């Protein structure tokens, strides 16, 4: 089986919000789009953090309208480029202790988010391996 790239396995495109976005809006986006992570971007479209479902459930039982994306996001976004091998994405996730990486295309002075690759995407990319069946 040939090595797959991040670009082969990633979800193309991202859902993003600004740091001052109310959490009521973030949760609405997650529920309406079935997206599992929202990238928090500053006014210059640079990633500041990411909000995933575990970040959101920390607010369970609170008034979502009293919180913003900035308060809830996990700071620092781990990135990878689409032409990198998927096994390198797996190694980076394990090393950094994260479940997803922001996929970016970089130029000389800028970079542009083009997708997200998650641990689940990597597992799906392993199709074709021998499987153990559980019946019953």
Residue 14 lies in a domain: yes
pTM of the model: 0.84
DSSP 8-state class, residue 127: T
Which segments of the chain does DSSP mark as H helices, in order? 6-9, 23-33, 53-57, 69-72, 86-96, 119-124
How many domains does the structure of the chain reveal?
1
Residue 136 CA to residue 130 CA, distance in Å, equals 20
- Cβ atoms of 63 and 86 within 8 Å: the answer is no
pLDDT tier, 2 (very low <50, low <70, confident <90, very high otherwise): low
- The residue behind tokens 């970079």 is 111
Residue 82 CA to residue 102 CA, distance in Å, equals 10
Q: What is the CATH number of the domain that holds 79?
A: 3.10.580.10
Residue 131 lies in a domain: no
Answer whether residue 107 shows pLDDT above 90. Answer: no
pLDDT tier, 111 (very low <50, low <70, confident <90, very high otherwise): confident
Residue 1 lies in a domain: no
Structure-block tokens of residue 89: 């994405």
61-93 pLDDT per residue, tens: 999 999 999 999 999 899 999 999 999 999 999
């Amino acid at each position: 089986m040939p090595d797959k790239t991040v670009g082969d396995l990633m979800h193309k495109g991202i859902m993003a919000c600004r740091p001052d976005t109310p959490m009521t809006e973030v949760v609405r986006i997650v529920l309406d789009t079935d997206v599992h992570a929202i990238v928090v971007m500053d006014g210059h479209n640079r990633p500041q953090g990411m909000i995933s479902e575990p970040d959101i459930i920390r607010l369970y039982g609170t008034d979502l309208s009293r919180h913003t994306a900035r308060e809830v996001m996990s700071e620092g976004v781990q990135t990878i480029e689409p032409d990198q091998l998927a096994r390198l994405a797996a190694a980076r996730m394990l090393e950094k202790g994260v479940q997803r990486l922001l996929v970016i295309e970089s130029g000389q002075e800028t970079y542009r988010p083009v997708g997200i690759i998650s641990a689940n995407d990597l597992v799906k990319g392993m199709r074709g391996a021998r499987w153990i069946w559980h019946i019953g």
